[in-house]
Structure 1
Amino acid sequence: MKTMVFERRLSMSPTAARVILRPFLPSSDSQVSSIVQRAMALSDAEVATELHDIRNDFAFRHADFESLLEKHFELVTSRVKVGVVSRARQLLIGALFSGEYAPESAALFNPSIVPHPDQSNLVDGALRLVMSLRATGEGHISSVEFRTVTIFADGEATAIPASPFASLPIIKNSTEDAAEISFGAEVQLDERIIFPMLSVESNGIEDARFVKFSEPGLVPQYFATYTAYNGQAITPRLIQTDDFVTFRSLALFGAAVKNKGMALFPRKIGGRYAMISRQDDENLFLMYADNIRYWENTHFLYGPRHAWELVKTGNCGSPIETAKGWLVITHGVGPMRTYCLGAMLLDLDNPLKIIGILKEPLIFPEGRDREGYVPNVVYSCGSLVHAGRLVLAYGLSDSMSVIATTNLSDLLDLLLANGP
């Protein structure tokens, strides 16, 4: 039974119509060479006819179609000798080594929300948000997408419709220690897609938990912990950005860097970084570190108690600072692998001290929300507080995402009344 009444403000569903253009090169240089030779054997007229059809069928689906084909042609020339050819033949060869991928064809879920860096031109009481979403497509490969959302003083919310185009970034550095990517200034936020580029994340960038991190006297930064998956093993990593244009993906180090579900506090506590984590895949822990990339020690915080979370518990995003304590949205896994959302309240100065916790789920999957790619799941990667409301972004059964609100004061009072 739910403990609070939520008003659903916004929903987002996946579409297979948004596609990115990826290079598609065989691993064998001899096969690449054979394809190029067959393309070179075509007459100029045949090249022109084929390129005309390609443009008609695909150019309208991409913001900068021919530039992408040129880049893919350049990838080919780095592998095999091509020689001097016309631009038309270059584009055709580029197309032979390209393929469309629909990053959200299967699901668009597990969102997080943070204040947008640009709060200009808003009505009084409104807050512009960056919403991150986990997009999943063919082969169950996950990437990160973004949307721009505005939440108003009365709790209503609107989202800028997603562009029909989706764009990959420019890779500035692809080392696994500290990779860096950037998007052109002309690429809208909702067009930007962070797609796996490192071997450690070749099968997915999963469940990014974005948070706005502030320190006195410094420009705020945005961080996101995420799970890198290579098809066999998972690795926690950290994204850093100042503007959602340039992003760095940073490796994390230390004995405590393992498993899923790490969530950074939005500021230092006692002069140190703090993180909620789940090293053993069952219980919640608290970690402190002097360097945001090095995590060595853990302190037990909470373990499953109630029927709806007896399999395991975890966090659903970074703790939210309120006047009465750190509000932590949690998730619990119970009978039939059902995922529910819960909540706890931690002491502001000593987050190891639980001062309130819900005994019943905050939100659980019901009705049509149960049905999806992975049924019976509600899950969040980050929420915030605005105008006296908890603004909760969460995914439904690994398929779509919603934003809902509830009264913050009532929730905090309920948590404190329940006690630890």
Structure 2
Amino acid sequence: MTSRADIDVRPIDESEFADWSRAMNIGFLREPTTSEEYLEARRAQFTPGRTVGAFDDGRCVATFRSFAQELTVVGGAVVPADAVTNVTVSPTHRRRGLLTRMMAQDLAAAKERGDVVATLIAAEYPIYGRYGFGPATWATEWTIDVPRAGLDPRWAGPEDGGRIDLVDAEDVRKLGPELHERLRRSQPGAVSRDELWWQLTTGAVRFLPGFHEPFFAVYRSADGEVAGMAAYTTDDRWGDAKQPLNTAKVKWLTGVTPAAERALWRYLCSIDWVVAVRTGYRAPDDLLPHFLPDPRAAAVTTQADFLWVRVLDVVRALEARTYGTAGSLVLEVADASGLTGGRYRLEASADGAGTCAPTAGHPDLSLDVADLATLWLGDESAVRLAALGRVREERAGAARQADALLRTSRRPWCPDIF
């Protein structure tokens, strides 16, 4: 067995991309060998210096990639983020510290660049907490039993003067980016999408097997403004008595108004032959079930953690967001990696603005940097974390005060897997 010290962890160059891609496919249990067309399409994601591999005797055995991202925080501001993805370790090289080495290199580089946080979508829960990441948003998927929903089967369109049109991929690439920008500027937890995202979702670039062109529906309000859009596929199932049993699967649905969301969900439930709608990952407090006359027709299929965040700069992270009330709180933040630990005083004013600075004052709460990330976007309760032993009150009532400052009336949500 090769010693840990003899395994080379470093950014790859473009000539090593095929070997790196093979290792990534192995880690994700995909067919290892891929076509030149696949590799050429996948190279669109190659960023020099941020595509990292671990090499044992010249062969890539672990992969890691990061890219620039913007993350929306409470109040609508955005912060620069280091988005982590394509993380794998080949089964022959587990438990040798390769992920730890790759992560340490990447987070140190992100800190040096000035990124406020790092982000990722965790395939497995136990892995990333040891690197200071905490779950900052959750996601829920529903399956709608259409016949039970109680909607009028004669329904043919929005009742607010708007309209829904089916459009093609080119229209989505034209209309979608501006619509997403409107959504993400008002949705804590949402992240930026680059041009490649839109090419991938519409099939202009394809490097994953099994792509099926979706249907694309656009909602326009009564004044003609594009306020919503959805991408969905359908299967082709029929019962023995020749009755349709088709399911529509939503790949993504964006609505910048409740009216747009209502119209799109009702449209999806009105499609002939469709008896079930799988919603894709939505915010846990999504309005969807209550758009239906019978909310029980929307049954929870999945409920799980989603976006994980690693705070790299406590001061900038806490100053970027807004707060629900005026108050002052001193946080003792532990960070085993040494990137951003210390004691900080947060001061929030009545107008929601916050300032933060290192302090020598007595702490009100002590917590790990991963738990700070869990609280930061407003989804978790400091009182709950204190009950779990993950936050320690150094002053009686501090956890309740933290909830008043940090928690939000609507839950944060990240619409994207990356």
TM-score, normalization: structure 2? 0.22
Which has a greater percent of helix? Answer: 2
Question: How high is the TM-score relative to the length of structure 1?
Answer: 0.22
**Using CA pairs below 8 Å that are at least 6 residues apart, which structure has the higher relative contact order?**
2
Which structure's residues are more often strand, by fraction? 1
